[in-house]
Amino acid sequence: GAVVSQHPSRVICKSGTSVKIECRSLDFQATTMFWYRQFPKQSLMLMATSNEGSKATYEQGVEKDKFLINHASLTLSTLTVTSAHPEDSSFYICSATRINEKLFFGSGTQLSVL
């Protein structure tokens, strides 16, 4: 069964609104989670590393004020797309790893901004 749960799977929002995506590790504690983004017909790109209890680390070119990451507990990381615009429409997917184990991915969130 799934070890990383992501919600919602699909969201449609109006331009200018904010959207929150949740990523939960099931049955294990994940001190670190990762957020990726995938545009149509492209591969996944790492956006940021979410660290429990501390600030997220963003990859070059990713706006930290636009993509707010909160890792409030050992099993939950959230990604909030603030003031979303059509160019933010994408597939967002999170991942988590147990120590020295394989990396598990959530089922992803398809965001469409109108």
Which residues of this protein are in contact with other proteins, per CB under 8 A?
6, 32-34, 40, 42-46, 49, 91, 93, 95-97, 100, 102-108, 110
Residue 48's H or E segment, with its range, is: strand 44-51
Compare residues 78 and 95 and give the one whose CB is closer to other proteins: 95
Compare residues 32 and 82 and give the one whose CB is closer to other proteins: 32
Other Cβ atoms closer than 10 A to 75: 19
Smallest separation (angstroms) from other proteins to the CB of 105: 4
d(CA 114, CA 110) in angstroms, rounded, equals: 13
Compare residues 49 and 80 and give the one whose CB is closer to other proteins: 49
d(CA 31, CA 68) in angstroms, rounded, equals: 17
